Amino acid sequence: MKKTISEVAPGWLAGKTVVVRADFNVPLMGARVTDARRIRESVPTIELLTHAGARVVLLSHLGRPERETKAEFSLAPVATELAGLLGEPVTFVSSPNGPPAAEAVRRLAPHGVALLENTRFHAGDETNDPELAAFWAGLGDLFVNDAFGVAHRAHASTSGLAEAMSARGGEAVAGLLMARELRFLEEALHAPERPFMAILGGAKISSKIGVISALLTRVDRLLIGGAMANTFFKAMGLHTGSSLVEDDSIDLAKKLLREGRERLLLPVDCIVAHQIAARVPTRAVTRDQVGDDDMIGDIGPKTRALFAEEIGKAKSIVWNGPMGVFEIDGFEEGTVAIAHAVAAACDRGALGVIGGGDSGAAVDRAGVADRVTHVSTGGGASIKLLAGGRLPGRDSLTDRG
């Protein structure tokens, strides 16, 4: 088990400088944050530190600036949004490293908060440059990793910083958000109340093969939707029209069908159209009635009912990936129906963990985010954890004594 910020004595924090890796990778429209959920999720950790009298230095990436300084990927709008959420000023530092950053941190008063510019403006973040990690570690007395969304990345601002802080004799601990993410996901995986169900969607089997294989050995039921179901259909000898199919994964799908047997449940009907676009004519067909010109865009009404019935039996549920192209009108009903079914199961006492990414957006769109047990902030990290993979951002933290 890893040490968390809750285990650090508040009295020790007073007057200390704490470097926090947050995940402020939020959508922007110009200089405006359009979805502040990830920022809000880190507020409890920041407030715990500032209320204890610590100086808080925040690091985060935003987008994919390709290791260059690009104005559209600046964290300046995030600093403004965060200040509003905290009700306190946030010092924005226009460089992620170097003398300007070091001087800004030196001037920070106790209880103060500073946000450094996008860590990925420096090429050394993604290459896990030890000198850059050592610079960030040298800014503080303690490192707190609260960025579960990038826990699967071995970057200078995540695992590199933790290792550099440990090398200096300091500690690297999990923030409140990181600790909560790990608790729910690990509880769902390692000690689930049964029946234990997983729901997987999205486009590709190949991107989730590790997850499917790992879950098949653990779950009582695995429901498959999204375009990845099309590849299973083709592996079963069914016609898929002009739908998205991973032809090079058909043999893999056959293998998974043999391994999964009755535990693996696929859609029995589909919503099809001649193109996947908003407000095009659609129709529901059984999975063996897909025409040559049809494209499968969602699970059908019989599948929605079947999946909802199965979800209603579960005591533990993990969901990652949409059931269709839910962001396009006409192909969202399957994903929304699953969101409502999971929420209803949680209302009856089930554990329902939503694996971030599109699944998190789906429960928001369905208006049920407050009814499920936990919505993860990290799609990629949750997938890797579900597959049994390493999370460098977690593994590099100080072990609990």
Domain end point (choices 121, 155, 177): 177
In this structure, the answer to whether residues 171 and 192 fall within a common structural domain is no
Structure tokens, 200: 């997987």
**What is the bridge-based pairing of β-strands 269-273 and 283-286?**
antiparallel
Return all residues near 252 (Cβ < 8 A) that are at least 6 apart. Answer: 205, 206, 209
16, 21, 38, 180: the catalytic one is: 38
Strands 28-29 and 221-224: unpaired
The answer on 221 and 266 residing in a single domain is yes
Choose the final residue of a domain: 144, 177, 210.
Answer: 177
Rounded Cα distance between 371 and 260, Å, is: 30
Range list of β-strands (E), 135-232: 142-145, 171-174, 196-200, 221-224
Q: Compute the distance between CA of residue 33 and CA of residue 230 in angstroms, rounded to an integer.
A: 36
How far CA 305 is from CA of 196, 302, 311, 338, 388, in Å, comes to: 19, 5, 10, 9, 31
Q: How far apart are CA 183 and CA 175, in angstroms?
A: 12
The verdict on residue 393 lying in a domain is: no
Size of the chain in residues: 401
193 and 144 housed in the same domain? no
* Residue 142, strand partner residues: 18, 171
Structure confidence at residue 131 (pLDDT): 98
Dist. CA 302–CA 63, nearest whole Å: 39
How many C-beta atoms lie closer than 10 Å to residue 5's C-beta?
A: 24
204 flagged as catalytic: yes
Q: Are residues 101 and 206 in the same domain?
A: no
pLDDT value of position 205: 78
d(CA 359, CA 386): 15
**Is position 400 within any domain?**
no
Same domain, 67 and 162: yes
The answer to whether residue 272 is domain-embedded is yes
- Please tell me whether residues 87 and 197 are part of one structural domain: no
Sites in the chain below the pLDDT cut of 70: none
Rounded CA-CA distance 110/326 in Å is 46
β-strand partners of 354: 319, 375
Collapse the DSSP code of 269 into the 3-class scheme (helix H, G, I; strand E, B; otherwise coil) and give the result.
strand
Q: Are residues 219 and 169 in the same domain?
A: no
Q: How far, in Å, are 20, 55, 95 from residue 80 at the CA level?
A: 18, 18, 16
Q: Residue 197 sits in a domain of what CATH number?
A: 3.40.50.1260
SS3 assignment, position 300: coil
Which residues are bridge partners to 28 per DSSP? 33
Q: Exactly one of 53, 210, 241, 380 is catalytic; name it.
A: 380
In a domain, 110, yes or no: yes
Q: Which residue out of 40, 67, 70, 204 is catalytically annotated?
A: 204
Task: Based on DSSP, count helices (H) and strands (E) in the chain, helices before strands.
Answer: 15, 17
SS (H, E, C) 324-362: CCCCCCCCCHHHHHHHHHHHHHHHCCCEEEECCHHHHHH
For residue 312, the enclosing domain spans 184-386
226 is annotated as an active-site residue: no
**357, 360, 378, 379: which is the annotated catalytic residue?**
357
Split into its structural domains, the chain has a count of 2
In a domain, 399, yes or no: no
Whether residue 91 sits in one domain with residue 233: no
The two structure tokens encoding residue 363: 């429960």
> Which residues lie closer than 8 Å to 348 by C-beta, 6 or more apart?
312
**Are 150 and 34 found together in one domain?**
yes
| β-pairing verdict for 269-273 and 295-299 | antiparallel
Q: Which residues contact 394 (CB under 8 A, 6 or more apart)?
A: 2, 145, 151, 174, 178, 182
Q: Tell me how far apart the alpha carbons of residues 25 and 77 are, in angstroms, rounded to a whole number.
A: 11
From 60, 69, 62, select the one nearest 42 (Cα to Cα).
60
User: Cis peptide before 195, with omega less than 30 degrees from 0?
Assistant: yes
Is residue 109, in this structure, part of any structural domain at all? yes
Strand partners, 346: none
The answer to whether the beta carbons of residues 129 and 97 sit under 8 Å apart is no
Residue where a domain terminates, one of 177, 193, 221 = 177
User: What pLDDT was estimated at residue 27?
Assistant: 92
Is residue 37 located within the same domain as residue 105?
yes
Q: Return the pLDDT at 118.
A: 98
Q: Are residues 283 and 137 in the same domain?
A: no
- 3-state SS class at 267: coil
